[in-house]
Amino acid sequence: MYELKIDEKTCETCPTFDCLVRCQYIDIDKDTAKTEMKKMISGEDSFVLHDCVTCYACEEYCKRGNHPFYLITDLQEERGILPMPKPLKTQFVNISVPTRRDIIQFYGAEEPVISLCLFPQYTRLFSEEKLFEELSIIIGRYFFCHLMYLHSGNPSLIRERLPKIIDNIANHGFKEVIFFHDECYSTLTSYTTAYSIEVPFKPIHFNEYLYNKLKDQQTKIQPLNAKVAFQRNCSARLTPNVEDFVDDIFNLIGAERVERQYDRENALCCGGIIRGQQRYDLFVDVQTRNVDDMLNAGVEYCVFQCPACFDSLSEKVAEKGIKPIMMHDLCLLAIQGSDK
C-alpha cells in the first residue's frame, strides 16, 4: 500500500554517490557505487544488500532525497537477506506486538505530552524533575514506532503497524507530541514522508523541547565547563536537521562538543546492532576506534541520546575514564549545579 518513491534520474546523475562511497563499513569507490545503485534501483541483487550493517548513514549522505537506506532495507526483505540471525529477528518481531492484554500507560491528560516509547525506566524522572514536571507521558507498545525493524530485514512490518500506532496517539486529540527517542521522531517525520503515510499531529523532537526549557530557566544554569563527546545514534541520521539543537543545548549549559574524527556526519555507531549481527570483529573494531577517538580528544563526558546506545557503549566508555551520561541528565547537572 505504501511505496517508496525514488527519482531514478537524479540518482543516476549524482556527481558523488556519497551514499555508498562515504560508508564506513563497506569499502566502495564511486564507479562501483554507481553500478550497485543502478542495480538496486532496478530491484536487482547487490553485494551492498549483504554487507550493509544497517547504520542508516547513507540516508544522511544522500542530498537528493532518494532514500538509499530505505531502498536497501526493502530489497533485503524482498530477497530474504537477513541482516541479523533469524532467531533474533523473530525476537525483535514478537517483543513489541500490541495486544489487547497490553496495559496502555498514560500519565496525565493535558499537553504538552511526551512519548517515552518502550523506556519505562525514565517515567519517574519525567514525572518529578524540574525540567519535565509539566509533561504528560504516554508509554508502551501501543505507541512504539517499530522503526527498529529496519535492522532486522522486515521493514514491511513497520508500514503494516505504523498507521495503527499513529491512530493510537492521534485518538487522544493531541496537536503536538514530543518524542523522547530519535527513532520515534524520525519515524514520524522522515519515514512517513518517504512512504506517504499521514501524521495528523506535529512531532516535536525531545531536544527542541529541552532547548526551549533550558532557555526559559537560563538564569538557573550553572555552566558545566566540561568537554563532551556526543554519541549520535543511528536514527539521528534520518533527521539531521535537528542536530543544531544538540549544539545549542551544549552552548547553553557550558559543554564544549570537541572536534574529533568520528562525529557529526562521520560518526560511528555504538556497535550494538553490529554485535547483534554476530560480526564480532567489526563490533570490537568500531567500538575501539570510537572510544579511543573520544579519549584522544580529552573529553570528560560521553553524552548519549539513545538508551540502547547507552547500554551498548557506556561500559566501554567508562573503562577509559570517560563518564557516560544521557543528554537530559547532563542538562539536569547544569540546572541543579551538582558536582560533575
Residue 3 lies in a domain: no
The CATH number of the domain where 276 resides is what? 3.40.50.1860
The pLDDT of residue 101: 53
Residue 242 lies in a domain: yes
Do 284 and 330 fall within a single domain? yes
Do 203 and 233 fall within a single domain? no
Where helices occur in 177-264 by DSSP H, the ranges are 182-186, 192-194, 206-216, 243-253
Domain holding 45, by residue range, is 8-78
Do 259 and 197 fall within a single domain? no
The pLDDT of residue 111: 86
Length reported for the chain: 340
Do 204 and 158 fall within a single domain? yes
- Domain final residue, candidates 46, 78, 110: 78
Which residue, among 258, 270, 273, 253, has the nearest Cα to 306 in the 3D structure?
270
| Structure-block grid coordinates of residue 255 | 559543554
- Domain final residue, candidates 155, 180, 209: 209
Describe the strand order of the beta sheet including 226-231 as a list of residue ranges: 255-257, 226-231, 301-304, 323-326
Describe the strand order of the beta sheet including 176-179 as a list of residue ranges: 105-107, 136-139, 113-115, 176-179, 202-205
> Using CA of residue 43, residue 46, residue 50, residue 53, what is the dihedral sign?
negative
- Per the CB < 8 A criterion, the answer to whether 229 and 297 are in contact is yes
Q: How many domains does the chain have?
A: 3
Do 244 and 283 fall within a single domain? yes
Residue 164 lies in a domain: yes
Do 192 and 273 fall within a single domain? no
Q: Say what the pTM is.
A: 0.93
Do 255 and 149 fall within a single domain? no
- Per the CB < 8 A criterion, the answer to whether 73 and 155 are in contact is yes
Residue 85 lies in a domain: no
Place of cell 550553572: 222
Full pLDDT tens readout for the chain, 340 residues: 789 988 888 898 999 999 999 999 999 999 999 999 999 999 999 999 999 999 999 999 999 999 999 999 999 999 999 888 887 778 777 777 776 555 556 666 678 999 998 888 888 877 767 788 888 888 888 899 999 999 998 999 999 999 999 998 998 899 999 999 999 999 999 999 999 999 999 999 999 999 999 999 999 999 999 999 999 999 999 999 999 999 999 999 999 999 999 999 999 999 999 999 999 999 999 999 999 999 999 999 999 999 999 999 999 999 999 999 999 999 999 998 644 4
- Domain final residue, candidates 17, 50, 78: 78
The pLDDT of residue 100: 52
The CATH number of the domain where 111 resides is what? 3.40.50
